[in-house]
Amino acid sequence: MRFAPRVADYSGPGSGGWSVQQEAAVLRDSGHDVIFLTIGDPDQPTPSPVIEATIAALRRGRTGYGSMVGHPQLRAAVAARFASRTGRPCAAENVTVTTGAQGGLYCAMQCLVGPGDEVIVPEPAYATYQGVLAASGAEMVMVPLPAERGFHPDLDSISGAVTPRTRVVWINSPHNPTGAVFTPDEIAGIAEICRRHDLWLVSDEVYEDLAFARPHLSPWSLPDMAERTIVVSSLSKSHSMPGFRLGWIIGPPALGRHLFVLLLSMTYGTPPFIQEGALAALSAELPEVAALRDDYRRRAGLMSGILAAAPNCRPIPLEGGMFVLLDIRGTGMAAQQFASALLESEDVAVLPCDAFGPSAAGHLRISLTEPDARLAEAGRRIVRFAQRLAGGR
């Protein structure tokens, strides 16, 4: 029996980065004290008002089908929050609720591009982006975010990558895996490229609440950009709710009509009890959200401070997000080799970044999703491993 050729395209180079995670799970199951710092799965509890609202909705029998594009009250809450943050109009008709930001990105690209189209993506890029574009039939055109620039975009390189086949520029800030937060000038420059060439601008803003070095700026907030900007975000990182699979797409109302048809043949809407939990998350400024953000800023300082002692390694200053990037090029080892050896000798699982794109080669992504004591222990184990590589003790 044969499978469709396209499924092989979904697992591009990015999928190989998860092999350390799989190896670590085997070690853990055999009794090793493995510290998992691979995926961005928050360890902090979901805010209690969200849990209570979700449970209450279940008890009221909110277990039937939900609205195809999201409950109007939830869509209005997302729109009001976004309008307040960007200073630009946004209404419920601009919002479509999806199964997480990942589902939102998939759906958005299905509606924007197809075979023969090109999408410009700054790299390194999150590992699933290639699969999302493979599903649409479009081609990913990667433009480097050089490590020497702190993984910030080169506007000339983006502009130079535009061809007659280009349909979309796809950005992510705060950036995964590097933690770079694009500056206002960089966002404005990318927006101008999209205006000049009549392109869509897709902005993955799932880490918007975890911008530390400077405030997050959405391109939607810029003049004449709302009609060509698609914003995708969720509550997974900001509210410690990844398992809820609740995200959204913000764009022109015409996009919402296409998304309705697409979701009709995919998810048939999002569970109503999940939407009520999300509505509780968006209806008030929850103190747990501010505390979670402070946790990541503090943990980044803790981990970076410890890793500064690792010979031939350099932690990259974190501008936003929930990961610390470690440059291990000075060790002479490839990131995959370093990560596998670190796991074998020290029971610490981190993600090699080579799979995210060539600009991230020689870097490790270290998740900050463990309590301080476990993070500190992981940092000490990494330093010890680097010392052994350097021939010291």
Closest CA to 225 of 187, 173, 268, 185: 187
Half-sphere exposure of 36 (CA within 13 A, CB side): 19
* Per-residue confidence (pLDDT) for residue 99, from 0 to 100: 95
- Average pLDDT on 253-273 reads 95
**Is 16 a residue whose pLDDT tops 80?**
no
Q: Are strands 314-316 and 118-123 parallel, antiparallel or unpaired?
A: unpaired
Q: For the segment 291-350, what is each residue's pLDDT rounded down to a tens digit?
A: 999 999 999 999 999 999 999 999 999 999 999 999 999 999 999 999 999 999 999 999
Percentage, residues of the chain above pLDDT 70: 98
Sheet containing strand 323-327, edge to edge, reads 35-37, 348-352, 363-367, 323-327, 314-316
pTM beyond 0.85: the answer is yes
**pLDDT, tens digit, 9 for 90 and up, residues 132-179:** 999 999 999 999 999 999 999 999 999 999 999 999 999 999 999 999
Buried b (16+ CB within 10 A) or exposed e, 246-271: bbbbbbeeebbebbeebbeebbebbb
Structure confidence at residue 22 (pLDDT): 83
Cis peptide before 174 (omega within 30 of 0): yes
**Domains in the chain and their CATH numbers?**
6-45+287-389 (3.90.1150.10), 64-282 (3.40.640.10)
CA dihedral 119, 125, 129, 133 (to 10 degrees): 20
The two three-digit tokens of residue 369, written as one number: 């999703």
Q: For residues 192 and 198, give the distance between their C-alpha atoms in angstroms, rounded to a whole number.
A: 10
